[in-house]
Structure 1
Amino acid sequence: MLAMNKIKILGITVITIVATIIVTSCKDKRSTGWEYAPNMYEHIAYDPDQKNDNFKDGKTAQLPPAGTTPLGFVRFDYPNTKDGYEKAGLEVKTTLPQTQANYADGKILFEHFCSPCHGVNGQGDGLVVAHGYPAPPSYSKGQSSRGGAMKDLTDGKIYHTITYGVNAMGSYASQLEPKERWKVIMYVHHLQTL
């Protein structure tokens, strides 16, 4: 008797499954079925290239308001000119604390980005000089192409030079974020004393 009930239950289950498959397969063939998370397919936000009636010009991508600063961006309002260089030299000072950790980071960054030209000790004897490129001036003994001794360069002048570059040295603004530039400057000040 118990075996008969098991066969009946199994039979009813199979018939139910088959009936469900037949009923659901007879639906509209163009249907994609149930959507588990429709917001992944039909997002509310506008794409930048989409038309947008919320703005007068109908564009989604808008220019930011004048005078705004993007999150995480550090403004450096000194132009890439001799006057901008001199003004930065007088006004710009580091706000980064003089710690051993920052100094160590500055040394590593200098060795990776600056030593190929300036040399490990900042004497202008990097690897590129061995390949025929002109030697940059020594930090402790050389003269700046903008005037004055390299050992007297201030925070602002070095920051300006890293940001914009000078002569054969290109800008390192895309390689070194502002905080990293200050760490390099901290290490350069050490090299100025050698």
Structure 2
Amino acid sequence: MLAMNKYRILGTAAFAIAASVVMTSCHDKRSTGWEYAPNMYEHIAYEGDQANPNFKNGQTAQVPPAGTTPVGFKRFDYPNTKDGYELAGTEVKNLLANTSKNIEDGKKLFTTFCSPCHGVTGQGDGLVVQHGYPAPPSYSKGQSSRGGAMKDLTDGKIYHTITYGVNSMGSYASQVSPEERWKIVMYVHQLQNL
């Protein structure tokens, strides 16, 4: 008799659970059910592309104030012009320590990003040139398209060229961080002496 009551209780509980599952699942097909943390789903913040009455122009996404610098961004306030190039050549100096580690890092970066055109030794004989593209000038013997010998390029001129590019060479600012650019500059100075 005790065993029969146990089966009757378990059967009633199973039936009640099954009935409640059926009843709740048939309620509203679009309902996601209970929300554990509704603030995560129905937040009160405005999306970036929504209209926002809190600002005069009615936009949520605002332009940053003039002169602000994003976190982690390094400014290079020399324009992509001949005058900007010349000014960078006289004013901009490499602030990284001239250590063997930095030069070795610069060599690795140069090999990865620059040697396809400039060649491993900076003589303008990279793989791209071997496939018929115009050769860049040699760092030790060539003449710069902007005037002067390549061996006389200063820190600022090399950094400016890596940042903005020149002639067939595009900008490497998106591929190489400012610190990495300075390491490449150190290594290019080594190649200028070959």
Same structural fold, with TM-score higher than 0.5 when normalized by the shorter chain: yes
Partner SS, residue 21 of structure 1: helix
- Shift in Å at residue 5 of structure 1? 3.9
Give 2:37's aligned residue: 37
Give 2:140's aligned residue: 140
Give 1:183's aligned residue: 183
- Shift in Å at residue 144 of structure 1? 1.7
Tell whether 2:100 aligns with 1:100. Answer: yes
Cα distance in 2 for partners of 1:179, 1:157 equals: 16
- Shift in Å at residue 26 of structure 1? 6.6
Percent identity between matched residues is: 77
Aligned residues: 194
Residue 129 of structure 2 aligns with an amino acid whose one-letter code is V
Give 1:116's aligned residue: 116
Distance 1:100 1:21, change over 3 A: same
RMSD of equivalent CA atoms: 2.1
Scaled by the length of structure 2, what TM-score is found?
Answer: 0.88
- Shift in Å at residue 147 of structure 1? 2.1
- Shift in Å at residue 181 of structure 1? 0.8
In structure 1, list runs of 5 or more residues that go unmatched. none
Partner SS, residue 102 of structure 2: helix
- Shift in Å at residue 37 of structure 1? 3.0
Distance 1:17 1:191, change over 3 A: same
Scaled by the length of structure 1, what TM-score is found?
Answer: 0.88
Cα distance in 2 for partners of 1:165, 1:143 equals: 16
Distance 1:25 1:110, change over 3 A: closer
Give 2:171's aligned residue: 171
Cα distance in 1 for partners of 2:147, 2:23 equals: 87
Distance 1:88 1:33, change over 3 A: same
Cα distance in 2 for partners of 1:45, 1:193 equals: 59
Give 2:156's aligned residue: 156
80-89 vs 6-15, which moves further: 6-15
150-159 vs 102-111, which moves further: 102-111
In structure 2, list runs of 5 or more residues that go unmatched. none
- Shift in Å at residue 29 of structure 1? 5.6
Cα distance in 1 for partners of 2:111, 2:48 equals: 41
32-41 vs 172-181, which moves further: 32-41
111-120 vs 8-17, which moves further: 8-17
Cα distance in 1 for partners of 2:119, 2:15 equals: 82
Residue 104 of structure 1 aligns with an amino acid whose one-letter code is E
- Shift in Å at residue 25 of structure 1? 5.1
